[in-house]
Structure formats: structure tokens, C-alpha cells
Chains A and B, each alone.
With several copies, the nearest count.
Chain A
Amino acid sequence: MTHHATKISIITEKLNEQQIEQMVVEAGAKGYTVFEGSGRGSHSLKTRSRPSVVDAFSLIKIEVIVADREKADAIVEKIASTYFKDYSGIVYMETVEILRLEKF
């Protein structure tokens, strides 16, 4: 007895963490999970093992699961248009199966 929901993954600079989290919650998500990472993209290389003298630029991945697809689209749209001109980052969506529909 599972339901379908959309998982949004946002990879961006740690600097933006608080603002994005707030934006996500205001857009109606009931929760999110954050992981630290490193990576490479079109902007310069982010490193992990060295002391990051500038820790605020290191990367995080924020995962948000929402049951409502339209809510998901709205969040993705909002984030892509607000952040990815100036800051490094990507956003993508996946379909997941959840148990407790009311939690998402």
C-alpha cells in the first residue's frame, strides 16, 4: 500500500542553505533532509578533504519529498530562478514510493 511522491534534490552552495530551507518550508513542504558533499560542475571545483578555508562555499544536497506534484514543480521553479544565475547548483526530481501520505 504505497503512494507516489516526488523527491526534489537540490545541490548548491552551503551559503544558501538557510534561505533555501525557508523557501522550501514556505512552499508547503513538510520536511527536508540535508547532506554535505563536494563536487565539480561548470563552476570551479569544490573540494572536501582539505580544510575549506571558505567553508561557506562547500556543497550541500537538500532532499525534499512532497506528495503533490504541483507543489514540487513550484519549488523547483522557484529555486532554479532564484539561485542558479549567481550560485553554483543543480536541481532534479525523482519519483519515489512512500507509505504515509499524510507526512509529505
Chain B
Amino acid sequence: MELFSDLLSTFASQLQKPALAFLLGGMVIAALGSKLSIPDAIYRFIVFMLLMRIGLGAGIEIRAANFGDVLLPALISLFIGCAIVLIGRFTLAALPQVRTEDGIATAGLFGAVSASTLAAAMVVLDEEGIGFEAWVPALYPFMDIAALVLAIVLASVHAHKQNGPSAKVALGPIFANSLRGSALSALLLGLVIGLVSRPEGVFEEFYDPLFRGLLSILMLVLGIEAWSRLDELRKVAHWYVIYALVAPLVHGLLAFALGYMAHLVTGFSPGGVILLAVIAASNSDISGPPTLRAGIPSANPSAYIGSSTAVGTPISIAVGIPLYLTLGQWVFGL
């Protein structure tokens, strides 16, 4: 009961946070038919700035990290990415009303990671004064790539069964393709630059101070986009909506449990556990879709983009972040 009332008060206080206000604001003005829009070039630049900031920050601090500590959370991330896709494969994709390829692609997108949700969660933890290991954002690629690759493999196995023996799936290009996406490239480039050079100056006077402000604009874009994609969702089975509402909760709790285990075993920080849950609950909104479109061409993009952009992302930001935050505060007595 206490957890529940804590949750309510966390929600109330998150509603005051600009990130959420801009997200909801974007949905409201799109619903009212406003012509306000953020130019595409600006949107893409903001995504670059956020991921570069996250990468640089992780890279700078990771220099001092004990690589042994990273191992368990990285394996857990890999595992979660795969688990989410398998769960989706045998629930959503197995439903008779859902085309198998569409279901698998959707599961892949929910297994992959949203950079914006990650950024929003980092800001919230920061504001709450909850620390986490600098390398936690670097867990992103492990979960992201695992989920996308597995989804593409499962879809191809399915096509194989349907159409008789076809060409084998080449894993190499799928890996390469997802690493080359603009989001992961920016994150990893920042990570490497942070590791091998001394970008502290530029980080502290440029990338870091602009982080929260640019995030507020990204939230506005995501809100507008979410509303505009609702239409697309109407064309597909109701199951997608139900999945998009329920699955993130399951994924986040699973990740929280495994993160808690790592906390007990290797002292993974409470903030890290919360962030891991948020990452797991999030769904890829930027780089996942094109990777899946290329990897599972027969899947209908309206199905997976509709459910992730219109439902999954707003839910994981507006509900997921406060939820895992409260859970963390409660479990770790923060």
C-alpha cells in the first residue's frame, strides 16, 4: 500500500518535470491540430547531441571503471534483449489475429532500446540525486543489438518454415547494420572519444549544459509524433495496443529483478538497476525501425511503429520511469 501511495506521489512530482510536460504538451497540440513542428534537421541534430553527450559522459568516466564490474550487467543486458524477443514471439506473435512476422518485428522493437527514454531517465536520476555507474548507458548496445538480431533471425526461421528451404540468414550484416545506425554510431563514437581523448572541456561547456534543454524539445517531438501515429495503430489488431501497454511493465520488472541480483552479487548500484529497468522497458524509436524494415521486409511497419511510437514510448516515459524510480527508492531505501 505504501508502495502504491509512493508511486502516486512520484507520478505527481514527475508530472511537474519539464520532460513529461513537453511530451504531453506535444500530444495535446498535435491533437488540437497545431501546425507547430520541429524541423527534421533539428530533430536529427538533437538526437545526435543527446547520444554524443551520453557517450562522451560514459567514456570519460569509464576510464576509471573496473571492467570486471561491467561483465555481469552486460551479460544480463544481452539476456534481457533476447528474452524480450522470445516472450513476444510466443505471446503476441503467436496470436491468431497477429501476423507472425509483424509480431516478431514488434517484439524486436520492444527489446531494442530508446535513446530518448534513456536520456529522460538519466535526467530524472540526476535530479533525484541517485548515482549510477558511468558505464550503465553503455549497456544500451548489448540489449539493442541482441533484440534486433534475434528478431530478424526468428522471422527468417519462420519464413523458412513457411516457404521451404531458403537462403540462410547471414548474421554478420545484421550486426554491422545495427551498429552502423546513426544512434548507435553516435553513442559509440562519443564513448570512444571519451575513452581515448580528453574531451572534458567540450563536454562540460557544450554537450552537458545543453542536454536537458534539448531533451525537452525531443520530448515535444515524440509527443507530436505519438499522437500522429495513433491513426496507424487503428488499422492493426487491438492486441498490439495491449502488448504495448503490458509488455514494457513485464520487461522492466524482469530487468529490475536481474539488476537487483547483480546488485547483490557485484554491487551494481541502485541507480544502475533503475536505469537497466528503464532501458529494458523502453522500445527503439529511432534506429530500430529501419533495421527491422531492412531485416524483416515482409513485416508491416504500421504494426510495429504504431504500437511503439504511439503507445510504447509515451508509456515508458510517463509511466515506466516514475514506476522504476519508486520501486528503486522502495527496494533500496533511497
Contacts and interface: CB of A to CB of B under 8 A. Distances in A.
Interface of A: 13, 15, 43-44, 47, 49-57, 86-87
Nearest to A87: B297
Interface of B: 37-40, 42-44, 221-222, 224-225, 228, 232, 235, 285-286, 289-290, 293-294, 297-298, 301-302, 305, 309
B39 A51 contact: yes
A51 B40 contact: yes
B37 A51 contact: yes
B170 to A, nearest CB: 16
Given A15-B293, A44-B235, A53 B39 contact: no
For chain A, what secondary structure do more than half of its interface residues adopt (helix, strand, loop), or is it mixed? loop
A15 B290 contact: yes
Contacts of B235: 44
Contacts of B305: 54
Contacts of B301: 44, 54, 57
Q: Kindly list the 3 A-B residue pairs having the minimum CB-CB distance in the complex, ordered from nearest.
A: A51-B43, A56-B290, A86-B297
A53 B37 contact: no
A54 B290 CA distance: 7
10 contacts: A13-B293, A15-B293, A44-B302, A50-B40, A51-B37, A51-B225, A53-B225, A53-B286, A54-B290, A56-B293
A47 B42 CA distance: 17
Contacts of A47: 228
A54 B289 contact: yes
A52 B40 contact: yes
For chain B, what secondary structure do more than half of its interface residues adopt (helix, strand, loop), or is it mixed? helix
B225 A49 contact: no
Contact of A50 (B37, B289, B293): B37
A53 B298 contact: no
B298 A86 contact: yes
A53 B285 contact: yes
A44 B305 CA distance: 12
A50 B225 contact: yes
Contact of A57 (B39, B42, B293): B293
Q: Which of A52, A56, A87 has the most CB of B within 10 A?
A: A56
A55 B287 CA distance: 10
Nearest to B222: A53
A87 B300 CA distance: 9
A102 to B, nearest CB: 20
Contacts of A87: 297
A86 B295 CA distance: 12
A49 B37 contact: yes
Contacts of B309: 53
A52 B44 CA distance: 9
Nearest to A14: B290
A54 B283 CA distance: 14
B31 to A, nearest CB: 14
A87 B309 CA distance: 20
A56 B302 CA distance: 14
Q: Which of B285, B298, B301 has the most CB of A within 10 A?
A: B301
A44 B309 CA distance: 15
Contacts of A52: 40
Given A44-B232, A44-B302, A86-B297, A51 B44 contact: yes
Contacts of B298: 86
A51 B293 CA distance: 19
Contacts of B224: 50
